[in-house]
C-alpha cells in the first residue's frame, strides 16, 4: 500500500481514538460499550473469507443507472438477484447481507455479553 493511501486510515484511527477519549471522559468506563464495526468487518473479511464463497461480489446487481429494488414503469425489475445470498458478503455495492451481519455479530457476541454481565446464550 502506498504511503499516501495510508494517510486517510491513519487520520481515521486518530479520530476514533480522540472520540474514545472524549466518551471516556464523559461517561464511566462501564456505562458505554463502543463496538468497532470497522474492525469487526475487516477481521471478518480477512479471517473468514471461506464462509463467503462468492467473495465480495454483491448479490443484487442493478442495471445501468438504476438501483436494487427499482422497477420500470411496467413493474419489471431493473436489477438481478443472486441465488446464494447466504454465501455473499454484500447485498449491493455497499450494504452487507444478513449472512455478513450474522458473522459480524458472532465476532461481537462476547464483548457485548461481557459488557452486560450476561452469560446466557441466545
Instruction: For 67-97, write each residue's pLDDT tens digit.
Output: 999 999 999 999 999 988 888 888 888 899 9
- The single residue listed with the C-alpha cell 438501483 is 67
**10 lies in some domain:** no
Determine if the pTM surpasses 0.75: no
Cβ distance 100 to 85 under 8 Å? no
The residue count for the chain: 122
**Assigned domain for 13 exists:** no
Q: Tell me the pLDDT band of 120, cut-offs 50, 70 and 90.
A: low
Give dist(CA 14, CA 18) in Å, integer: 6
Query: Is 9 contained in some domain?
Result: no
Would you say residue 6 lies in a domain? no
Query: Of 21-35, 92-106, 107-121, which gets the smallest average pLDDT?
Result: 21-35
50: domain range? Answer: 41-122
Q: How far is CA 74 from CA 65, 68, 70, 77, 81, in A?
A: 17, 16, 11, 9, 19
Q: Which residue shows C-alpha cell 458478503? A: 89
Residue 60 DSSP SS3: strand
Terminal-to-terminal C-alpha distance of the chain: 41
Chain centre to alpha carbon of residue 105: 10
| Residue 82 is assigned to a structural domain of this protein | yes
Which pLDDT band, with edges at 50, 70 and 90, does 1 fall under?
very low
Cα separation, 19 vs 44, whole angstroms: 24
Q: Residue range 18-40: average pLDDT?
A: 77
The total domain count for the chain is 1
Amino acid at each position: 500500500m502506498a504511503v499516501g493511501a495510508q494517510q486517510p486510515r491513519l487520520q481515521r484511527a486518530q479520530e476514533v481514538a480522540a472520540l474514545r477519549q472524549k466518551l471516556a471522559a464523559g461517561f464511566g468506563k462501564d456505562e458505554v460499550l463502543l463496538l468497532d464495526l470497522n474492525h469487526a468487518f475487516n477481521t471478518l473479511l480477512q479471517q473468514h473469507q471461506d464462509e463467503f464463497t462468492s467473495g465480495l461480489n454483491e448479490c443484487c446487481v442493478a442495471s445501468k443507472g438504476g438501483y436494487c429494488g427499482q422497477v420500470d414503469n411496467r413493474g419489471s425489475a431493473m436489477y438481478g438477484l443472486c441465488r446464494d445470498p447466504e454465501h455473499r458478503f454484500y447485498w449491493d455495492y455497499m450494504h452487507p447481507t444478513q449472512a455478513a451481519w450474522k458473522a459480524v455479530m458472532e465476532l461481537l457476541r462476547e464483548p457485548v455479553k461481557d459488557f452486560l454481565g450476561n452469560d446466557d446464550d441466545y
